[in-house]
Amino acid sequence: MTDPIVRTTAGDVRGRWRTDDAGNASAAFLGIPFAEPPVGELRFEAPVPHGAWLGVRDAGEMGATPQRRPYAAVTSIPEPSFPGDSTLNVNVFTPSPTVSADPLPVLVWIHGGGFIAGSPASPWYDGRAFNRDGVVTVTVSYRLGFDGFGWIPDAPSNRGVRDWLLALEWVRANVAAFGGDPDRVTIGGQSAGGGAVLHLLAMEQAQHLFHGVLAVSPSAPAVKAEVAERIARRMAALVGVEPTKAGFATVADEDLRDLFDRAATGEGGRLAQLRSLLAGSPSGPMLDGDLVPRPVAESIARGIGADKPLVLGATDEEFSGAIMSHRDTLRFLPARVVLGALGLRAGLRGAYIRANLDVRARGVAATAGRYVTDVVFRAPSLQIARNRADAPTWMYRFSWRSSVSGLAEHCLDVPFWFDCLAEASVQALAGPTPPQALATELHGRAVDFIASGEPGWPAWNEGTQIDRVFDATSLGATSVDESGGYAGAAPLLEA
């Protein structure tokens, strides 16, 4: 079969046909640059659209990645790094690489990794299953860590956010040539990627670029400008440079991550660092008064993005693993004391425990783990749903527990959303026999949402508080939780 060639606004690209085990054909176009390499004079600048090229550019291999080496402490997802300067790329997976009178819906996926790590080149993000089900899939890269989000007084703020915007502009201008519909673009992401799509949902400048949002375990911290400035100045002092573009340009990009870690990580042991995380991540989009003028929840409360359908939710035990490893020690302590050590103020501890009696019955460590999960993921998602009022919003919970960890933990649901349980490293996280029926169900709901704007279960509102529960025993669109599955996180919104 002849390699497919597609004409983009910058020039022609040559992809590769693939066939899955069932004989479904799709084409992959990898490493297409949407911006000039962010190096040299462009290193700390806003992204510049990539110039035109002559001839046919080969798109058969993954492009260079902003991540220089995997950061295993951040994610359980296999996310490889590739060297090179041209790191701002898109990967396009399509069943029909041609302009069509009946174009297909599009998913644009933004990877996670705490805004400091991650890669669009993960085999888990391959769009093969979405292509099988009639969805064009695009994965995008963006600058990470200090290069993408650090405070530099004489550089544009939120450079990583500007990368998202330019990548979406590229999709709008080019996806029709790959068989996609630019008027049916859903942006999706997990963890920091989920936070990214929520930031875009809340951003006035981005509203014309997408039509729906799938926020999987979203973490959308609002880094205060003064915090970002303090970290940047400390970084500069550690290496003896001025906190400017010229000063930071003398620091190799592969060294900036370690420097950022030294400047941003709180002192003390594991508990102190965890409590620091709960108080607010130092990584991610900064409140700059421009692209990000206010926290996401506040912008959503003002009605921004209210016309866009939104699916959001979390796993039941996102970050519980960090606590459960200390269960033997914690079982001797009162739950109120442990919650206080994690930062929950005294007046809310009793209410929180009463709202989570089912979790409390599993022990102190389980209660503390749920609290960490609620602070970082579940309570913010509940706040987003509340702030959207009558805007079309669907909530879910991923409750299936891995046979490896015994938890419905962070990242576990990603291979179910992408229906790729046979991919590398899935068994290490999920166990040897993850339920394919659950992947079929979860992936199918995602396809329905991308194609129609509705995922197939009742929408959430303050009156009903219905959420969809995904586990191995509650399959089918009618399997919903009408008791308010996020009610356990509600006391934290009073803090």
Indicate if 410 belongs to the active site: yes
Residue type, 68: R
Q: Which residue has the tokens 């990877």?
A: 111
Q: Is 148 exposed, middle or buried (0-12, 13-18, 19+ CB in 10 A)?
A: buried
Alpha-carbon distance of 333 to 401, in angstroms, equals 26
- Using an 8 Å Cβ cutoff, are 34 and 88 in contact? yes
Flag whether pLDDT at 284 surpasses 70: yes
- Given the residues 402, 410, 423, 443, select the one marked as catalytic: 410
Going by pLDDT thresholds of 50, 70 and 90, the confidence category of residue 482 is: low
Q: Which residue has the tokens 């005294």?
A: 346
Going by pLDDT thresholds of 50, 70 and 90, the confidence category of residue 229 is: very high
Alpha-carbon distance of 202 to 220, in angstroms, equals 11
Strand 136-140 and strand 104-110: the pairing is parallel
Going by pLDDT thresholds of 50, 70 and 90, the confidence category of residue 416 is: very high
Longest CA span, the chain? 69
Q: In 10 A of CB 397, how many CB atoms?
A: 22
The pLDDT value given to residue 253: 81
Indicate if 191 belongs to the active site: yes
Alpha-carbon distance of 349 to 114, in angstroms, equals 28
Q: pLDDT digits over 202-217, tens only?
A: 999 999 999 999 999 9
Name, in order, each residue with C-beta under 8 angstroms of 299's C-beta and a sequence gap of 6 or more. 202, 203, 293, 305
Q: pLDDT digits over 286-332, tens only?
A: 999 999 999 999 999 999 999 999 999 999 999 888 888 788 888 88
Alpha-carbon distance of 182 to 149, in angstroms, equals 28
Could you give the percent of the chain with pLDDT greater than 90? 81
The pLDDT value given to residue 266: 52
> Could you give the count of Cα atoms lying within 13 Å of 161 in the half-sphere of its Cβ?
28
- Using an 8 Å Cβ cutoff, are 105 and 184 in contact? yes
Which domains are assigned to the chain?
A: 309-494 (3.40.50.1820)
> What is the mean pLDDT of the segment spanning 475-492?
73
Average pLDDT of the chain is 92
Q: Is the pTM of this model over 0.85?
A: yes
The pLDDT value given to residue 268: 47
- Given the residues 26, 96, 119, 191, select the one marked as catalytic: 191
> Could you give the count of Cα atoms lying within 13 Å of 305 in the half-sphere of its Cβ?
31
Going by pLDDT thresholds of 50, 70 and 90, the confidence category of residue 273 is: low
- Given the residues 79, 317, 318, 441, select the one marked as catalytic: 318
> What is the mean pLDDT of the segment spanning 123-147?
97
Going by pLDDT thresholds of 50, 70 and 90, the confidence category of residue 386 is: very high
> What is the mean pLDDT of the segment spanning 53-79?
86
Name, in order, each residue with C-beta under 8 angstroms of 452's C-beta and a sequence gap of 6 or more. none
The pLDDT value given to residue 424: 84
Going by pLDDT thresholds of 50, 70 and 90, the confidence category of residue 78 is: very high
Name, in order, each residue with C-beta under 8 angstroms of 312's C-beta and a sequence gap of 6 or more. 194, 198, 213, 214, 215, 216, 218, 381, 384, 385, 393, 394, 395, 396
> What is the mean pLDDT of the segment spanning 95-107?
96
Could you give the percent of the chain with pLDDT greater than 70? 93
Q: In 10 A of CB 455, how many CB atoms?
A: 22
Q: Which two tokens stand for residue 449?
A: 């949402």
- Using an 8 Å Cβ cutoff, are 59 and 31 in contact? yes
> Which of 123-132, 282-291, 438-447 has the weakest average pLDDT?
282-291
Flag whether pLDDT at 85 surpasses 70: yes
- Using an 8 Å Cβ cutoff, are 471 and 399 in contact? yes
Going by pLDDT thresholds of 50, 70 and 90, the confidence category of residue 188 is: very high
> What is the mean pLDDT of the segment spanning 366-382?
94
> What is the mean pLDDT of the segment spanning 419-442?
95
More confident residue, 275 or 159: 159
Going by pLDDT thresholds of 50, 70 and 90, the confidence category of residue 150 is: very high
> What is the mean pLDDT of the segment spanning 470-482?
67
The pLDDT value given to residue 267: 47
- Using an 8 Å Cβ cutoff, are 96 and 104 in contact? yes
Flag whether pLDDT at 408 surpasses 70: yes
The pLDDT value given to residue 84: 95
Q: In 10 A of CB 12, how many CB atoms?
A: 15
